[in-house]
Amino acid sequence: MGQSVIEQAAARLRQSSRAVALTGAGISVESGIPDFRSPGGLWSKYDPLEYGDIRSFRMNPGKVWRMLVDMDRMLHDARPNPAHYALASLEREGLLKGVITQNVDSLHQRAGSRTVVEFHGHGRTARCDQCGREVPREALKLQDLPPRCGCGGPMRPNFVFFGEGIPRSAYLQAAHMVERCDLLLVVGTSATVAPASHLPLMAKSRGAFIIEVNPNETELTAAHTDLHLALPAGQALPAIVSALGLAIHTEGK
């Protein structure tokens, strides 16, 4: 009987010396945060052109903050799930160099991951869109929207809106990691949003083995994925860790 996809993935990880993970919203679905493009996802509730673009934020920050408050509530209540802990355990065991995430929920760090590149920023702080003053997320008063800075400018979360560039240091670090990896574990992303969607292609073009963990097929699956685990991340990643004979550390942070 052939090896299961879980055993094949575990064997590939054991053979690799520079494995990296790239994650998207799908890894946090089992933490209670809906993704963006699946049925019932955030973009089915809010039009991304009206709520996700920096131009729409600048035209009507109060309106966009209604979505941001909704997102904030979900992020606030979420806890890491076994998929986050599994990646942190693989890193702790020296089998994963780090995680590049498109998520702004800080759940990788809370699960104990140490090398986390936040490609789309994070929600831990906010900054004034006018003077740039930065404050911790908790300092924001959300009674009147948009929350305003002392200078009168609207505050905005420190994550990337459509129409904005990727933070330079995050882009350079992510490119450095994928250009040198020999295995890329792509978890819970539709791989439709550039430039994050280019990262697997950069890895592939340098000979990396692509393992995709996603219950559904994506833009990557047919063309670039070498091994597709059509399973929820919260099931697949812990199974890989145990197939490696390792334990999952759930103490996190």
Q: Are strands 155-159 and 121-128 parallel, antiparallel or unpaired?
A: antiparallel
Stretch that binds ligand APR, among 87-95, 135-143, 204-212, 215-223 (CB under 6 A): 215-223
Residue 80 backbone phi and psi in degrees, to 5 = -60, 150
Of 54 and 148, CB closest to ligand APR: 54
25 binds ligand APR (CB under 6 A): yes
For the bound state, the minimum distance from the C-beta of residue 145 to ligand APR, rounded and expressed in Å, comes to 21
Does 164 participate in binding ligand APR (rule CB under 6 A)? no
List Cβ neighbours of 166 (8 Å cut-off, separation of 6 or more): 119, 120, 160, 195, 196
The 106-145 contact track toward ligand APR, x by CB under 6 A, reads --------------x-------------------------
Residue recorded with tokens 């994650």: 23
Buried b (16+ CB within 10 A) or exposed e, 222-247: eebbeebbeebbbebbbbbbebbebe
As annotated, the active-site residues are 120
158 counts as binding ligand APR under rule CB under 6 A = no
Nearer to ligand APR, 13 or 213 (CB): 213
Least distance to ligand APR from the beta carbon of 167, Å?
13
The span from the CA of 19 to the CA of 60, in Å, is 42
Query: What are the CA-CA distances from residue 30 to residues 16, 26, 94, 146, 235 (Å)?
Result: 28, 8, 25, 30, 10
- The CB-nearest residue to ligand APR is 26
Contacts with ligand APR by CB under 6 A lie at 24-26, 29-30, 35-38, 41, 102, 120, 188-190, 192-193, 213-216, 218, 232-234
